[in-house]
Amino acid sequence: MPLNAVDLDVGDTRTMVLTDDLTRTQIVQYAGASGDYNPLHTDDLFTREVAGYPGVFAHGMLTMGMTGRLLTDWFGDGRLTAYGVRFVNQVWPGDALTATATVEAIRVDDGVHLADVSVVTTNQDGKPVVTGSATARLDP
C-alpha cells in the first residue's frame, strides 16, 4: 500500500465519493465519538430558534475526518506527516460530498521522500466545503 516516490508524479490526482446523502445519524455518531456535543450539530430546535440557522449542520471535523480517508487510502496507513484544512462552507444533512486530492510536489527532506498534496471536498453544487493540504511519507 505505501507508495514509491518513483511511481508518483506531480499532478496525479485521486477522487473519492465520501457520501451521497449525509445523514443526521452520522452527525450524531460523530458527536458521540468525538465528544463534541455542540447542539448546533444535533439539536434542530436550538439551532433554528437560538442560533438562527436553518437547521443542524455537520461538524467541520466530521468532513475533515471523512476527507482523511481519501489520503490514508491513497498513501497508506500511518504515512501522513501533516494534514490541515480550512472549513470554507457549512455541510448540511443530505449533502453529497466528494473529495479530490492532487500531488503538488514530491521532495526529499533529510533523506525522507515526501509528497505534498492539496485536497478539496465539494458538495453537490460543486461548492468547496473543506480545502487543505497534507504531506505523506513515500518509499524511495
Partner 1 sequence: MAVERFPVEASHIMMFARSIGDPNPIYYDDEYAAGTEPGRVIAPPTFAQASAQFDPDYFLRPKIGEPWFGSGKNPTGVVREPGSGGGGGGGGLHAEQHFEYHRHVGPGDVLTAAVRKGDTWEKESKRAGKLVFSESITEYRDQHGELVITARSVGVRTEKPVEQ
Nearer to partner 1, 83 or 116 (CB): 83
Q: Give the three cell numbers for residue 86.
A: 480550512
Is residue 17 close enough to count as binding partner 1 by CB under 8 A? no
Is residue 124 close enough to count as binding partner 1 by CB under 8 A? no
What are the b/e assignments for 82-119, b being 16+ CB within 10 Å?
ebebebebbbbbebebbbbbbbeebeeeeeebbbbbeb
Is residue 125 close enough to count as binding partner 1 by CB under 8 A? no
Stretch that binds partner 1, among 7-15, 38-46, 104-112, 113-121 (CB under 8 A): 38-46
Q: How far is the CB of 17 from partner 1 (least distance, A)?
A: 11
Stretch that binds partner 1, among 65-73, 101-109, 110-118, 119-127 (CB under 8 A): 65-73
* Interface with partner 1 (CB under 8 A), residue from 52, 111, 126, 140: 52
- Residues of span 75-104 touching partner 1 by CB under 8 A: 76-87, 90
For binding to partner 1 (CB under 8 A), which residues are involved? Answer: 1-2, 18-19, 26, 29-30, 32-40, 43, 45-54, 59-62, 64-66, 68-69, 71-73, 76-87, 90
